[in-house]
Amino acid sequence: MAAQWRPSWLDQSLVKVGEGRVGEKGAAAHAWKGAGGGKAAQGAFPKGTRRMRLEPTAFKGGGCLGWRRLRTRPPGATVRRKRAGPARAPPFAKMAAALEGLLVPHLLPQRCYDELLLRLNLLHVPCLKILLSKGLGIAIVAGSLMVKLPQVLKILGAKSAEGLSFSALLLELVALTGTMVYSVANRFPFSAWGEALFLMLQTVAIGFLAQHFGGHTARGVSFLVLYLALLSLLLSPLTPRPLLPLLQAANMPAVIISRLLQAASNYRNGHTGQLSAITVFLLFAGSLARIFTSVQETGDPLMALTYVVSSVCNGLIAGQLLYYWDMPAGARKKKE
């Protein structure tokens, strides 16, 4: 039976490797069990040291004469352990987090996100109403970026604003401005009134073009300057708060009168002139959708009533467009 050899503690600096012997002063404990050449030696170290795997290099009579490798840690030294990195989230978790950041709170409140997407309760009526209202509001705001663009292009192409009533444009501008100022003051969500901003900008452009192609460019420039100055004043803190509900209430008569003026102009001319069908039908559809979104998002009856009146008036102009669809400009005048 092979003898076991247990050296005393040796100083690592005095351990000689490859010379067939081990130094005598000692600083790392290790034990070699058995003389099975080529097997790994296992270090038996006291508490506070690190276990090592040692390869013997030579044997004589059952004892180990040399070691290929010997590394120890001095007693009392700290062990440096490799820190584990942050756990990697699975791909679907990252996608879920990105989707939640996109939807909450812009499209859905947190409770509705949990209800519809996590619990898959797709028949939760209150959350479905919120989702539909937010979706419609965002679609209306996005569509308003181009709702009057066909009208602008039609005027530029014909170099004429025939058939458009400038007085009706001014009253429409009053209604849009009142809605925008009232909504900003009450801090309503942008999806509930954002189209008023873009429609206002496009209406101002149409008003300037109507004056420009009518031979009154200076009047058109004055119109731009005066309107922007008035808008800045209304949006400033100088505007008394009690005046804001009056501005919103003035929208209804402004919308009614502006649409009646346009309808009267169409009837008098016997055609709709350069009035764009795309713009009129988009305005009609948008005002209908706004009835639902204003009730759902703002809960303001004044805004809801304004959009009801606007829908009726826009429907009147849309009906005239269909009635005069095949009537060319000036046809009635030639008949007379």
The 8 Å CB, 24+ separation contacts for 315-321 are 315/284, 316/259, 316/263, 317/259, 317/262, 317/263, 317/266, 317/275, 317/280, 317/284, 318/280, 318/281, 318/284, 320/263, 320/266, 320/267, 320/272, 321/272, 321/275, 321/277, 321/280, 321/281
- Does residue 160 sit in the same domain as residue 110? no
Cβ partners under 8 Å of residue 57, min gap 6: 17, 18, 20, 65, 66, 67, 68
- Is residue 331 in a domain? no
User: For residue 196, which of 242, 232, 147 has the smallest C-alpha distance?
Assistant: 147
Calculate the average pLDDT of the chain.
76
The Cβ of residue 117 has, within 10 Å, a number of other Cβ atoms equal to 17
- Is residue 83 in a domain? no
Q: What is the mean pLDDT of residues 215-222?
A: 94
Which domain does 97 fall in, by range? 92-123
Domain count, the chain: 3
- Does residue 155 sit in the same domain as residue 219? yes
List pLDDT tens digits, range 8-18.
344 333 333 33
- Does residue 156 sit in the same domain as residue 247? yes
User: For residue 177, which of 207, 139, 138 has the smallest C-alpha distance?
Assistant: 207
- Does residue 190 sit in the same domain as residue 241? yes
- Does residue 66 sit in the same domain as residue 97? no
Distance CA 21, CA 326 (A): 113
Distance CA 83, CA 86 (A): 9
Predicted local distance difference test score (pLDDT) of residue 273 = 80
Q: What is the mean pLDDT of residues 30-43?
A: 39
Predicted local distance difference test score (pLDDT) of residue 80 = 59
- Is residue 332 in a domain? no
List pLDDT tens digits, range 279-314.
899 889 999 998 998 888 888 888 888 889 999 999
- Is residue 236 in a domain? yes
Q: What is the mean pLDDT of residues 14-43?
A: 38
- Is residue 132 in a domain? no
- Is residue 232 in a domain? yes
List pLDDT tens digits, range 89-142.
566 677 878 877 888 877 888 888 888 888 888 888 999 988 898 888 888 888
- Does residue 213 sit in the same domain as residue 316? yes
- Does residue 67 sit in the same domain as residue 149? no
Supply the DSSP symbol for 264: H
- Does residue 110 sit in the same domain as residue 174? no
- Does residue 118 sit in the same domain as residue 257? no
- Is residue 268 in a domain? yes
pTM: 0.61
pLDDT at residue 150 greater than cutoff 80: yes
- Does residue 240 sit in the same domain as residue 307? yes
- Does residue 221 sit in the same domain as residue 96? no
- Is residue 240 in a domain? yes
- Does residue 65 sit in the same domain as residue 96? no
* R_g of the chain computed on alpha carbons: 42
Tokens found for residue 8: 């005393």
